[in-house]
Structures are given as C-alpha cells and as structure tokens.
Structure 1
Amino acid sequence: MGTCRGMGRRMGIDESRRAAQQAAEWLVRLDSETCTASDMEAFERWRGADPLHAVAFRQAEAMWRDSRAVIRDGLVLGHAADLARWGPDIRAARYGGRRAAWLAIAAALTAMVVAMIIYDPLSPKAPPPGTRYATAVGEQRDIRLADGSTLTLDTQTVLVERFSESERRVDLQQGQVQFDVEGGPGWPFVVHAGGGTVTAVGTRFQVRVAGAGSSVTLLHGVVHVAERGWDGSGRIDILQPGQRIRLDANGRLGEVEIANVGAAEGWTQGKLHVDDWTLREFVAELNRYSVVQLRIDDPAIGDVRLSGVFQTRKRQNLERLLEQGWGIQSRRVAENEILLTRQ
C-alpha cells in the first residue's frame, strides 16, 4: 500500500474549512493591540504558502467589515480566536458577565465567517479558464496585463493568466518569464510553476520551467517561494534581491543561491551570458532560440569550456567566435542543421 505522500494533495471541504478557520483566527490576531512584527511576518508566510489561504483571508476580511459594525470592542476581537478553541468550562471560569456575552458574540461571528467561506458559492474552487499566451521558437514578447503588470516571455514559453477578484494567478507551463508586478497587498500575484508557487506584491522576478524542475530569480522587491506539499505543510523561502532558488522535478525547494543578475537580465536583451559552460550546455541553450539547430559532431568537443557574452539572434557572428576563440568549425549540412566539428 502506498503512503499518503504519494497520493497527492487532498482537496475539498476539509481543506476549505481549515483555511477558513485559520483566516478568521489571523484576522482577530492582526487586529489585536498585542499584534507584533513577528505576527505580521508569520501571517505573510501563511498567506503566501497557498493561494487557498489568500482567497480565504480576502473573503474573511469582507465578512469582518460587516460584522465590526456590531462588534467594536477591542477586547472582543483580541480574544475571539481563543474562545473559538476553548471549551465552555474554560470560558466560564475566565470570563463572566457582560464581557462573556460580548465574547460569545465574537466567537459566534468567527464561526459564521468559517461557515460562510466554506459554503458560500464564491468559496475557493477551480480557477477560471483564463487567457493563454505563447511564444514560438526564437520569439520574445511583452504582455501588459489588466492590473498594469508586465510580462516578458522568452522563446518557447507557454502560460495561462487567470485573474479573479481574490487573486492574480499565472500558470507557467513551460519556458521563462520576467514578471514586473504592480502592487496590491490585498490582491496577491501568484505564479504556479514546476510544483511550487511564487507570491509577489510590487516586484520584479523571473521564473523558468525546464524539464528537470524550475527556478526563481528575484531582481527587485520580495517574493515568497513555496513548495506544494501534499498536506499544505511545504517549506517556504523568502527571497531578497539578487537571490535565486531552484525547485526539483518533485517541486521541492533547494538552497537559496546568489544569482548573477546581469546574466539573468541578459536574455531579455537578446544576450546569453556564459560562465564556464560546456559546449554541450551552450548548444542546448542556444538551440532554444532558433529553428536552425546546432549539432555537435565530435563528442570529444562537447566538454570544451566556454565563457563570454553571445548574441542569440546573430548566428553568423557566433559561429565566427566559436572558430576564432575555441577552434570549433561550423558547417551547414541541412536547411535547419549546422554541424560543429573540431577545426
């Protein structure tokens, strides 16, 4: 019999109930006079860990706005989350009289928030169909979304944009994108890619999906990168500018690395920054940008090391550089194939 870890993440009423309860508890906690900076950081980590959390919190906020017309006592809000967990004996022992009545109302409203989020027709469900964007081989494209954010799509990239009232969602299926995201703390911008999620507010970052996993590089601002654990308990990392992190084929996070920002931005300018790559790695990357494919004829030259800045759109100049700098000769053997051999 397989383990739960191999069954995938369970979705449904239990998960919605848990997210709704947590959202309600976070609301009263953040509104309390005892709320600290650590509480705020913990909240942001929770909200960024799963799009379902952001949806539940946004709905809970709307319901609290209405309920606070009835409850305006700070103590009520400050203790409502505790009351939702304590049993009747503990409540009776710790609180009494008029205050207990107010707290009972707050507890009831917390329960109401949870119930309405779970059973409301607008509760979290499958994302809308969305709009698909794609680039062909060698094509790069800028897209301006409805919120003012700009996406720069690299060659052979496919994504689906799914905006709703609760979140701005982008599913990156393949390729590479630079995101310039407009602010909106109450409207999270979430990128799903390679089994993980990237949550940002007013920032610039890149996400790349390759066959063996994906990577996230932060250029400006702050992003949360989260694993999609089967039980919602996956690791979360907060990147700072100039940092990069990878996710493996199973969506598990690696270690945070120092990114080469110049190299990361190079592809948006048609440049390929190469730092001690093998010829094999160089050819694989360069072939993404053209229907004319390079092929290494002699396996021995596949391990030749290269460094430099190359123009992805100027093949003739590139072939000349390979010949002059590394003694690698190019010869066209078919309309869409160039053979690389030792000079």
Structure 2
Amino acid sequence: MTNIRVFNSKESIQQQASVWISRIDRGLSPDETQQLALWANNSESHRQILFDLAQTWDDMSALNELKGLMPLNKLATVTQKNKRSVHLALAASVAFMLFSVMSWLMFNPNQVDDNDIMISQLVTSVGEQKPVTLQDGSVVYLNTNSELRVNFSSRTRQINLLRGEALFEVAHDKERPFIVSAAGNTVTAVGTAFNVQLIDDEHFELLVTEGKVLLQNMQENQTIEQPVGQNPLDAKQGGTLLTAGQKALVAQDSAQSATLSIEQIQNELAWRQGVVVFDGEPLINALTEISRYVAVHFDFEDEKLKEQRVAGYFKAGDLDGLLAALSNNFNIRYKKVDENTILLFSAI
C-alpha cells in the first residue's frame, strides 16, 4: 500500500497539465497566471509533469490531442514540414512561462487568494511509518495506520488528524499559524514541534517537544483564522498554553497535563526509531499499543493476565520477538488461534 495518497491521479494531473500548456500557447491572462501558479505550487508532481510535457512537446503528437481541449487555430495552416520548428518554439515559450510562474511564486509567496486552498491527504498503513515534507517546509512524521488531511491557504496552515499519530516539526511563519485539529480541539503553533496521537473520537494525547502551542476547543473557538498581525499564541484568546516537555490527555472539554522528564519524552517518541517502550504498564495496555503495528488481536485465557505489569523495549511490528519475550521473561505462553488471533495464557 502506498504511503501517501493524493486526490489527483497521475493521469488527471497530466490532463490538467496539457490544458495549461494549451492555454500558455494562446497566452495567459493575469488571473490565469495566478491560477497556474497555484496549481503548480500544489505539489512537486504538478511541476514535474508540466516541465516533462514542455520538454517533450516536439517529440509527441500533443497538438492533436489538445485540439479537443483548446482550439489551436493558428496551427491549422502550418505545413507538416514546418510543424517541428513550431513545436520547438512552443516548448521554449512554455519553459519560459513556467520559469516566470516559479519566479512569481518565489517572490510573491503570500499573493495566493484566501479562497484558494491547497489540499492533500497523507496516509500510512498498519506497520508503516513515513516522513513527509509539506509545502511550507514543515515536516510531518506519520506513525503506523495514520491519516491526516492537509489544508493550506495564504493565511492558515490547517491539518486534520483523522486517525493514528503524527509528529509535527513546524516551519516558522508568524503570519500563518499551523493548526492541527483532532477530537474536537485544535493545537496551534507558529514554529515548534509536537506529537499528537488520536485515541478515539473524543480524546488525543499531545506532547510538546519544542516551543509552545495553544490548545483550544473548536466549539468555543469557531473561527480559527487569526487576524493579520495578531499573535496566534496569545493566551487572551482563550485556551491552554503548553510548553516544551509538557504532555496532555485532551478531551473535548478538558485537558490533563503533566511535565515529563527527558527520558520519558524519549520513550514517548521511540516509535520514530521503530521501537515501542513499556515501563510497567498493564499487559492489556501494552498489547493494545502493539496491535497498532501488527494486524493481530490478543485474547486472554486468564483475565488476571491483563493486569500483569510489563516493561522493556520491543521492536515495532516484531510479533515473534514480542511473543518470545513474553514467554522468556514473563512466563506467558501463547497459541495462534487463527491468522489474526493469538490466545495468551500463564505458564505457571
């Protein structure tokens, strides 16, 4: 399964790129130039396919394919002998226009219309972990079985965590707050790092590893776009301000926070190195965490086993290693009932 799923297929992007090249050929209006800039800046795939199409224009029958999309009347009287030189000229003009668009993007980063939003979807399957660099330079590290929706405009950077867990390293941009929505609350940052794990539809865990973030209830703060020039982390807006080293269990209308040690923070983020760390948790809690990385359900022959405390470092997704550790260190045996179910029982 692919790590990243985007809304547009490659074929769809190629079709859109063909339309844009045909428009470039007949000349772009100022509005179309801005629209092309937005489209090209939406993803690396958009830009790459545009350039590829421009470079190979003279080697393809692209003009014939584009006739149904955009009339090319000025090419109707061109003879077959002269078509190749015309195609080369078109490729050069397209390349020049693309260079102009990219330059416009570089020197006018905030000229995107507020109604124009760049949207993408990021997904990992069970056992997968993936770092993704966003359009603004922020980096998202997705843990196993996670999904989030990225929604960027010229005034805000909005993320909706739909399931799973992600660590965010936010690029500094005081004019565009970085807002993560989960379980009825928002986490707002300008330039910082924090981890969000969605527990269920009403709860998530928030760990701030760098800087500070503002935690707000979405029902009490319907408008999450901030006025220009206003500090999005101003506590006067309401909400709870959390700083580096703090962890909170967040519900829709409450947040229970605590300050963690450096070792505790490292254990919380050990998944980045593919490791799951337990420090005396009940076995049922530990196996619930393990099940995030493997498609296996655990049953218990003896209910008392659920409360047995376990500790140690386990490689995420290493089911055989986990079962061996339970047998060797905790006197817990197992039986594979079927492909997706394991029964645990005491050896004593």
- 1:167-202 superposed Cα distances (whole Å, 9 cap, x missing partner): 111011111100011111111111111111111122
Structure 2 counterpart of 1:181? 170
Q: Which residue number corresponds to residue 217 of structure 1?
A: 207
Deviation per residue, 1:1-29 (Å, 9 max, x gap)? xxxxxxxxxxxxxxxxxxxxxxxxxxxxx
The one-letter code matched in structure 2 to 1:141 is K
Q: Offset at 1:338? A: 1.9
AA at the equivalent of 2:242: L
Which of 294, 310, 313 is the equivalent residue of 1:309? 313
| 2:121 and 2:149 in contact (8 A); partners too | yes
Residues 77-111 of structure 1, C-alpha deviation per residue, up to 9 Å, x if partnerless?
xxxxxxxxxxxxxxxxxxxxxxxxxxxxxxxxxxx
CA contact (8 A) 1:172 1:192 kept: yes
Return the offset for 1:326: 1.1
Separation in 2, partners of 1:142, 1:231: 30
When residues 205 and 230 of structure 1 are mapped into structure 2, their CA distance, relative to the original with a 3 A threshold, is: closer
Cα pair 1:203 1:222 within 8 Å, conserved:
yes
What is the aligned counterpart of 2:329 among 316, 325, 332? Answer: 325
Indicate the SS of the match to 1:301: helix
Aligned to 1:257: 258
Distance 1:234 1:337 in 2: 49
Report the residue type matching 1:136 in the other structure: S
Distance in 1 between residues matched to 2:257 and 2:297, nearest whole Å: 34
Work out whether 1:270 is the aligned partner of 2:259.
no
Question: Aligned letter for 1:257?
Answer: A
Distance 2:126 2:297 in 1: 11
| 1-structure distance, mates of 2:177, 2:255 | 24
Q: Hey, what's the Cα distance between the residues in 2 that align with 1:315 and 1:230?
A: 43
Contact 2:168 2:194 (8 Å CA) reproduced: yes
Aligned residue among 245, 249, 252 for 2:248:
245
**Alpha-carbon shift at residue 336 of structure 1 (Å):** 2.2
CA apart distance, 1:235:
4.5
Partner SS state of residue 281, structure 1: helix
**CA distance in 1 between partners of 2:254 and 2:216 (Å):** 8
CA contact (8 A) 1:235 1:253 kept: no
Q: Corresponding residue for 2:16?
A: none
In structure 2, do the counterparts of structure 1 residues 272 and 234 end up closer, same or farther at CA, with 3 Å as the change threshold?
farther
TM-score (norm 2): 0.59
Aligned counterparts, 1:1-343, within 5 A = 128=117, 130-211=119-200, 212-230=202-220, 235-248=238-251, 251-259=252-260, 260-343=264-347
Structure 1 position 128, deviation (Å): 4.4
Name the CA distance, whole Å, in 2 between partners of 1:324 and 1:244. Answer: 33
Is the Cα contact below 8 Å between 2:294 and 2:319 reproduced in 1?
no
Question: Aligned AA for 1:243?
Answer: Q
Distance in 1, matches of 2:284 and 2:154, equals 46
Instruction: Note the residue ranges of structure 1 that are not aligned, 5 or more in a row.
Output: 1-121
Unaligned runs of 5+ in 2: 1-112, 223-235
Query: Please, what TM-score do these two structures have when normalized by structure 1?
Result: 0.60
Between the aligned partners of 2:282 and 2:139, the Cα distance in structure 1 is 34
- Maintained 8 Å contact 1:295/1:337: yes
Aligned positions, number = 218
Structure 1 pair 257–221 and aligned structure 2 pair: CA distance change class (3 A): same
Q: What displacement does 1:321 show?
A: 1.1
| Aligned alpha-carbon RMSD (Å) | 2.1
Residue deviations 1:230-264 (CA, integer Å, cap 9, x gap): 4669841211111011221xx12323212320122
The residue number in structure 2 matching 1:5 is: none
Between the two proteins, what is the percent identity of the paired residues?
A: 28
What's 1:77 paired with?
Answer: none
In 2, the alpha carbon distance for the partners of 1:129 and 1:186 equals 17
